[in-house]
Structure 1
Amino acid sequence: MSALLVDELTETTSTVAATPATVVVTETFWHWRHGRIRVWETDPHPSGKAIVLLHGYGAMVEHWRKNIPALAADATVYALDLLGFGKSDMPDAHYSARLWGEQVRDFLDARRIAKATLFGHSMGGLVAAQFAHDYAERTDGLVLVDPSGYPPRTPSDFMFRTLRFAAENPILRDLSYWLFATPDIARQGLTSAYFDPRAVTPELVETFVAPLRQPGAKYSYLAVARRPGDFFVNAPNGIAAPTLLVWGGRDRLLPPRLLKPFRELIPHAESVVIPDTGHCPQDETPSAFNAVTLRFLRMNVFNE
């Protein structure tokens, strides 16, 4: 299939395979003020509805590859590589949930999208929740998948200062990143994130390792350690959007008990726990994940 120029903000395009074969996903690069952003998008949907997918820490648009075809039945789907991750640019920027929220807002403006439903996994869930608070008028619905970002009950100032010191010191920062950015560490992290070890294939590991080799990756991958206070949800006005919380029942990184504080944060939220699934239900058990999210969207967001 020939490449399609999406709009004047696009530099290059290519076609990305998706299943079923009737769904075409196009890869583009959008020029944002902080750098190039990789975007996967489906053909425009006649409903005019839009879904934006936000990956987790260290991940990329490929982590949604098993969900995009199902979601494209109801809306135009956009998956973004957050600044600093995947194939997006990796500048030495002040990374935070709010910076990535601005990325989403500016992307919607560039595509002339008034409102969208946001899906956020892990750290992407933090970004989606913060966006839904800061830009409530731009949020149709919210699907938070094993989200991070709920403030600890008793934050440790000493721990935060230690992490910040290590990440800000150039020698310690480069040493810690050199020790961290290896295939073995990536494999160990993915093995902790998935309940079924068979899901951690060599292809999946390589997908997560490739961005680590980029020169600027040390800035974004160590951003949480540099400014940990920027990675908690700050929503004093609450979150009004229809919300679904999806959790892997065997998540060892962010266990299902964290559903309780997120329910307190968003009292009207529905919640689903998918059994025998780790931290990444959208990738580990995509059939169950797609079924529960589509049911929620059709009953609460796309039912106009």
Structure 2
Amino acid sequence: MIIVAKIVNEKFLQIDGHKIRYLESGNSKNTLVLIHGLGASAERWNRVIPLFSDSFHVVVPDLIGFGYSDKPTIDYTPDLFSEFLENFFIATGIERPNIVGSSLGGQISVEYASIHSQEIEKLVLVSPAGMMKQSTPALDAYIMAALYPNELSAKNAFELMEGSGKSVDANIVNGFVERMQLPNAKLAFMSTVLGLKYSKSIASKLKSISTPTLIIWGGNDPVIPINYADDFVSAIQDCRFYRMDGCGHTPYVEDPQTFAAKVLEFLNGI
């Protein structure tokens, strides 16, 4: 059997004078946008991009302040990220995308969808932030790893976050350490943490989302525990839920095949 490697292109564009980096794969007329979480980058989705790009034009931005996008000295609030997403769609010419948002990316997707619900085809939220206001030991470890980035602290944080007991890919650990050592990376990270802490609850915004929505949550998520899932499922008008047992905060990293299968099933209306 001949295995054909999926081509993933790295691209850059300007938004409000800031350089923004994103990855792109697939040629479908249907677009799927993947939004990463706090302290992450487009690479966090590497294991599922090839699984989606047969069926979708996959676009994966580095959020402003993260990855290899610019990190200006500004206040990183949920409103800022929602506006960034709107401007990113305008700059890339993306219309009626399907959106998958993880953790912080999930909250950003909610903020955007609460205003632009009619402009989104379907929405997938993976362990979304926005309801939990107190920290957890796994989140504390992750914040410490961001402030003091080294292999040991990052490895400890990712092992706690995954909650599966499996060893963490060294590329994930090393990539995180490298990115957190970039200029202004720590500032953007902590500004985002504070912006989330002091932002209003997104509960009222969930009720305004009419986009068909799927919530996926790792059954063993130690970062944002699964008991927060009902807040989302009960508030969003057209919402279904899938629990990924044996997974922690990033099921698309821990079990990419199952994750992709469930997302494609939802997006394709099966």
- 5+ residue gaps, structure 2, are 136-143
Alignment-derived partner of residue 103 in structure 1: 84
Pick aligned residue for 1:38 from 21, 36, 42: 21
1:139-218 correspondence to structure 2 within 5 Å: 139-150=120-131, 152=133, 179-218=147-186
State which drifts further: 236-245 or 137-146.
Answer: 236-245
Question: Are 2:246 and 1:276 aligned?
Answer: yes
- 5+ residue gaps, structure 1, are 1-19, 157-175
Q: How far is the alpha carbon of 1:225 from its aligned partner?
A: 4.2
* Rg larger for: 1
Q: How far is the alpha carbon of 1:42 from its aligned partner?
A: 1.2
Question: Are 2:123 and 1:123 aligned?
Answer: no
Alignment-derived partner of residue 297 in structure 1: 267
Q: CA–CA distance in 2 between the matches of 1:224 and 1:42?
A: 28
State which drifts further: 256-265 or 231-240.
Answer: 231-240
CA deviations on 1:200-250 (whole Å, 9 max, x unpaired) are: 122220011111101211221101443322374261752110100001111
Identical residues among aligned pairs (%): 28
Is residue 91–residue 219 contact of structure 1 (8 Å, CA) maintained in 2? no
State which drifts further: 238-247 or 256-265.
Answer: 256-265
Is residue 75–residue 192 contact of structure 2 (8 Å, CA) maintained in 1? no
TM-score (normalizing by structure 1): 0.79
Question: Are 2:242 and 1:261 aligned?
Answer: no
Question: Are 2:224 and 1:241 aligned?
Answer: no
Is residue 247–residue 274 contact of structure 1 (8 Å, CA) maintained in 2? yes
**Structure 1's 141 and 274: CA in aligned 2 closer, same or farther, altered over 3 A?**
same
Q: CA–CA distance in 1 between the matches of 2:145 and 2:242?
A: 36
- For 1:66, what is the secondary structure of its paired residue? coil
Bigger relative contact order (CA 8 A; separation at least 6): 2
TM-score (normalizing by structure 2): 0.88
Question: Are 2:12 and 1:26 aligned?
Answer: no
**Structure 1's 88 and 248: CA in aligned 2 closer, same or farther, altered over 3 A?**
same
Amino acid at match of 1:113: I
CA deviations on 1:31-53 (whole Å, 9 max, x unpaired) are: 111511111001431xx211111
Is residue 93–residue 219 contact of structure 1 (8 Å, CA) maintained in 2? no
Amino acid at match of 1:21: V
Give the superposed CA RMSD. Answer: 2.2
Is residue 39–residue 146 contact of structure 2 (8 Å, CA) maintained in 1? no
Q: How far is the alpha carbon of 1:98 from its aligned partner?
A: 2.0
Alignment-derived partner of residue 136 in structure 1: 117
Q: How far is the alpha carbon of 1:184 from its aligned partner?
A: 2.6
Is residue 219–residue 244 contact of structure 2 (8 Å, CA) maintained in 1? yes
Alignment-derived partner of residue 138 in structure 2: none
Is residue 282–residue 289 contact of structure 1 (8 Å, CA) maintained in 2? yes
Is residue 96–residue 231 contact of structure 1 (8 Å, CA) maintained in 2? no
CA deviations on 1:266-298 (whole Å, 9 max, x unpaired) are: 142110001111110000010110111000000
Question: Are 2:37 and 1:73 aligned?
Answer: no
State which drifts further: 264-273 or 288-297.
Answer: 264-273
Q: How far is the alpha carbon of 1:94 from its aligned partner?
A: 1.6
Pick aligned residue for 1:226 from 194, 211, 225: 194
